[in-house]
Amino acid sequence: MSDISTQLTSFLVSERLPCVLAFSAASELGITACEVGEAADNADVRISRCQLGLFGFEEFGERRFTGCVAKIPAELREALAASALSEGVPCIEAWRTADDLGVPRILVGVAANEMGIRITRCQLGCFGSSAMSELQ
């Protein structure tokens, strides 16, 4: 197990690494989120509780957090549509949208799902391209 993988053990919850704690680990360890994701993967540690609600909520009986948004705010709908690339909206752009609009990240993920827009390029490398440098 690499030194980073060993250091990640203090961030685990029920033997998994919640997304929010993965980013805390990156900050504390002075490494990128992608490096945390790689270290977790190398240590066979699963990332859980995606901040966009995309995965890691099995304890609630769902593999993907899905909720019905009664009405997606027009501002959010427009922002998601504007940031969508041909393959979808990169994770980091979804985060920026949430931050810019002052809404929870999970709302952006659920709204994207409701709109049929895929979230791509996880910053932790969980799915899609882990080469995030062009977007950061």
Report d(CA 17, CA 66) in Å as an integer. Answer: 21
Residues 68-111 have pLDDT tens digits of 677 899 999 999 999 998 989 999 999 999 999 999 999 999 99
Report d(CA 41, CA 43) in Å as an integer. Answer: 5
The band of 130, judged by pLDDT with boundaries at 50, 70 and 90, is very low
> Which pair of tokens denotes residue 33?
């989120």
Give the distance from CA 110 to its chain's centroid.
Answer: 12
Report d(CA 125, CA 136) in Å as an integer. Answer: 14
Q: Which residues pair with 18 in a beta bridge?
A: 48
